[in-house]
């Protein structure tokens, strides 16, 4: 009997020990099993080929082997833009720039125009010590126009001093938007990704205008100071951004593209990129639903915008709503969303299809700049030759809702 009791006690103790071995530490919940049909999630950034659930259904990563010919040609132009910057080849660099280029060296500045002013503004190509490096690249393009967005790191090194990573080689991260047509850069925007110490940048001799002075309302464009070496380039036509036909650049071999990142699945997004993606998805969902007031909730009150790449800049959420209310509700499909972001600014380019009443699809691209979860800039561009479309319906329900919301209160 004693032996039997001992065996029962020992068996009970073994069960207790075994159970304790699999109980999670206090305050920790056991990891849930993966959903049926889903691979178990790896640590962030691990596990090639792992597909995790996304917030949306559009593509968020790119493979260079899948570029269209127009996209590959535009990538080649932008890569050469980077290479000629670092080799300080001014003539080779300016050969990539359209005579009537539209550019903005800082988000708070107005749009400037012309190759001569661009040369005077973009000083890296004329510097013998400062260089840039490209970290990410995304492209959305077609035969009519192509948008390329890159993440760029500026390494600012005063003459005679500096090496990458040193104090005098202070690094500043930006996203760059380039619009490429006929083998030329027709538009160029810079925007800093992070809030950077102004004192550190002064020490590095590279204080961007946005940090050198408080943001001011956009003023009429005044060409920046142009050094003598840039005076031979055309001033450009301030009334148009169209360029003369040029031979497209040769497609870039895939082997030359893989030195920088071109694929960023959604589970790699940082918090600022996630926030920007939600805002842009909200924009498209609201547009598709024809709900102008819901669309307004994703837009900053001081937004700047252009409904087409050839339009002048518009200012303010109210004016944006008046512009788009007669067109929203059109059929569209968002097929690609690519984002580069930081705690100061985030850039997003999207690929989407506009579908007319007859079912004809036109490929479109859009650029958004997002801060604090709100869209502060929007620009549309047609990737395919734009077909004739019906005029906006200013008497639509969406426009009536906008007009009622913007009407002054009774009695005023």
Give per-residue pLDDT as tens, 133-163: 899 999 999 999 999 999 999 887 654 444 4
Q: Per-residue confidence at 313, pLDDT binned at 50, 70, 90?
A: confident
- Say yes or no to pLDDT of 44 above 60: no
- Whether 51 maps to a domain, the answer reads no
Q: How far apart are CA 128 and CA 138, in angstroms?
A: 28
- Considering the domain architecture, whether residues 212 and 351 belong to the same structural domain is answered as no
Maximal C-alpha separation, the chain: 108
Q: pLDDT tens digit string along 77-95?
A: 999 999 999 999 999 999 9
- Considering the domain architecture, whether residues 222 and 347 belong to the same structural domain is answered as no
Taken in order 328, 332, 333, 334, the sign of the CA dihedral is negative
- Whether 292 maps to a domain, the answer reads yes
- Considering the domain architecture, whether residues 281 and 179 belong to the same structural domain is answered as no
Q: Per-residue confidence at 169, pLDDT binned at 50, 70, 90?
A: low
Tell me how far apart the terminal alpha carbons of the chain are, to the nearest angstrom.
Answer: 99
- Considering the domain architecture, whether residues 333 and 231 belong to the same structural domain is answered as no
- Considering the domain architecture, whether residues 307 and 370 belong to the same structural domain is answered as yes
- Whether 98 maps to a domain, the answer reads yes
The strand pairing partners of 351, in sequence order, are: 336, 365
Question: Is residue 370 within a helix (H) or strand (E), and if so which, with residue range?
Answer: strand 361-371
The domain containing residue 119 runs over which residues?
Answer: 64-237+247-257
- Whether 16 maps to a domain, the answer reads no
| 358: exposed, middle or buried (Cβ count in 10 Å: 0-12, 13-18, 19+) | exposed
Q: pLDDT tens digit string along 346-359?
A: 999 999 998 877 77
Q: pLDDT tens digit string along 272-310?
A: 999 999 999 999 999 999 999 999 999 999 999 998 888
- Whether 279 maps to a domain, the answer reads yes
Chosen domain end from 208, 226, 257: 257
């Amino acid at each position: 009997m004693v032996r039997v009791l001992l065996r029962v006690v020992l068996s009970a103790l073994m069960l207790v020990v075994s159970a304790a071995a699999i109980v999670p530490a206090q305050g920790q919940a056991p990891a849930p099993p993966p959903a049926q049909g889903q691979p178990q999630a790896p640590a962030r950034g691990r596990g090639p080929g792992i597909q995790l659930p996304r917030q949306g259904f559009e593509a968020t990563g790119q493979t260079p082997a899948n570029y269209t010919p127009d996209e590959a040609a535009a990538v080649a132009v932008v890569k050469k833009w980077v290479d000629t910057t670092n080799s300080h080849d001014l003539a080779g660099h300016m050969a990539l720039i359209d005579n009537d280029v539209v550019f903005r060296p800082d988000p708070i500045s107005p749009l400037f125009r012309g190759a001569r002013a661009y040369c005077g503004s973009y000083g890296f190509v004329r510097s013998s010590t400062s260089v840039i490096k490209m970290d990410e690249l995304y492209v959305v393009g077609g035969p009519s126009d192509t948008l390329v967005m890159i993440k760029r790191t500026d390494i600012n090194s005063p003459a005679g001093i500096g090496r990458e990573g040193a104090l005098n080689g202070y690094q500043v991260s930006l996203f760059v938007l380039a619009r490429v047509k006929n083998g030329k850069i027709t538009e160029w925007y810079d925007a800093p990704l992070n809030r950077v110490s102004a004192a550190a940048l002064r020490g590095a001799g590279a204080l961007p205008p946005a940090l050198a002075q408080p943001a001011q309302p956009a003023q009429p464009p005044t060409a920046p100071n142009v050094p003598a070496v840039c005076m031979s380039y055309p001033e450009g036509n301030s009334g148009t951004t169209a360029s003369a036909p040029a031979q497209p650049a040769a497609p870039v071999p895939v082997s030359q593209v893989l030195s920088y990142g071109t694929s960023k699945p959604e589970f790699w997004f940082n918090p600022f990129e996630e926030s920007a993606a939600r805002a842009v998805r909200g924009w498209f969902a609201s547009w598709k639903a024809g709900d102008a007031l819901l669309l307004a909730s994703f837009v900053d009150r001081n937004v700047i915008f252009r409904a087409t790449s050839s339009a002048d800049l518009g200012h303010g959420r109210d004016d944006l709503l008046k512009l788009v209310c007669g067109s929203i509700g059109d059929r569209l499909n968002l097929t690609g969303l690519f984002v580069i972001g930081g705690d100061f600014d985030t850039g997003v380019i999207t690929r989407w299809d506009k579908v007319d009443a007859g079912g004809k699809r036109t490929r479109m691209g859009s650029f958004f700049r997002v801060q604090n979860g709100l869209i502060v800039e929007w620009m549309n561009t047609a990737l395919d030759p734009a077909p004739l479309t019906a005029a906006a319906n200013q008497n639509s329900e969406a426009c009536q809702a906008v007009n009622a919301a913007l009407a002054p209160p009774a009695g005023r």
